[in-house]
Amino acid sequence: EESLQMWDLNKRLEAYLARVKFLEEENEVLRAEIQSAKASPAGDSWRMKYEEELRALRDALDHAFREKCTAELSRDNLYEEIQQVKSRCQKEQAAREEAKKQLSLSRKELEEERRAQIWLKERAVQLEKEVETLLEVHEEEKAGLDQEIASFSQSLESFRCASVAFQPVEVEDYSKRLSEIWKGAVETYKTEVSQLEGSLCQAKENLWKAVEDNHQSQLQLQHLEKDLAGLKARKEMLEESLAQQWQEQRGEAEKFQLAMEALEQEQQSLRVQIARVLEDRQQLMHLKMSLSLEVATYRTLLEAESTRLQMPAG
């Protein structure tokens, strides 16, 4: 049993020594490779190339970040411009609504002026008819008064030509009565004539006022038509400017969207490149760590073996 244990221990020792020898050979080979890699300029060139690529990627990332900031600033400016255009559109819409309201009010005033003009024309015709009627009545009353005066003068002549059969008192009374009647008739005629003249003057004044109002209404109608034409022209101009601004804003929005898509694609590609570089770097770090661990293991084994060989035989 002890011989079997010794034989097993010898086999394990032989395997361990073979493994140590193999590891020493690999260690020497790796050491030679490391020394050659350190001594050769290829490693430095590879490291410089890697650092240059990393620097270029960092610069590209910084440039992309700056472009992103610029694009965000442009987006904010464009958003502010869009808000300003929207506010301007709202103001123009409000102005258009106000113009529509003023137009409707102007149309209503125009209709009212037309109706007033028609009423004034009808009133003027009516006043002319009344004036003609008053003139006819005045002529008829004047003719009646002339007839009364003629008949009164004839009766007075007959009274003068009559025989003096009356007493003086009756003649005086009759003459007083006749004079009073004559005065009353003259006063009535004067009153009627003055009333007819006043009504005629009032009719002429009303007719003149109607003509003047008609003229003012026509002038106001022309002014309202000019204002309406100006409002229509302003409305068309505002609509054209709004359509042009909307087209320009739409074109700028499309350009900005294309630029944002291009920047996003470039950012995605940069992210992929950075992830690839980081992955390569991590793999290199893992390889370096594994090599360091193997070198430390080999060094420990070699030190243990050298210590074991330096120990005395006993």
pLDDT over threshold 70, residue 32: yes
pLDDT of 295: 77
pLDDT over threshold 60, residue 138: yes
pLDDT of 71: 84
pLDDT of 164: 44
Percent of the chain with pLDDT over 70: 87
Predicted confidence band of residue 155 (pLDDT cuts 50, 70, 90): low
Please state the length of the chain: 314
Predicted confidence band of residue 46 (pLDDT cuts 50, 70, 90): low
The tokens describing 66, both together, are 């700056």
pLDDT of 43: 54
Mean pLDDT of 173-181: 71
Would you say 128 and 207 are in contact if contact means Cβ atoms under 8 Å apart? yes
CA pair distance 194, 190, nearest whole angstrom: 6
pLDDT over threshold 50, residue 163: no
The tokens describing 42, both together, are 């290829």
> What is the residue-wise DSSP string for 128-161?
HHHHHHHHHHHHHHHHHHHHHHHHHHHHHHHHHH
Would you say 143 and 173 are in contact if contact means Cβ atoms under 8 Å apart? no
pLDDT over threshold 60, residue 314: no
The mean pLDDT value of the chain amounts to 78
Mean pLDDT of 263-279: 84
pLDDT over threshold 50, residue 166: no
Predicted confidence band of residue 312 (pLDDT cuts 50, 70, 90): low
Predicted confidence band of residue 175 (pLDDT cuts 50, 70, 90): low
Please calculate the CA angle 167-161-146 and round it to the nearest 5 degrees.
Answer: 110
Question: Which pTM value belongs to this model?
Answer: 0.31
pLDDT of 109: 80
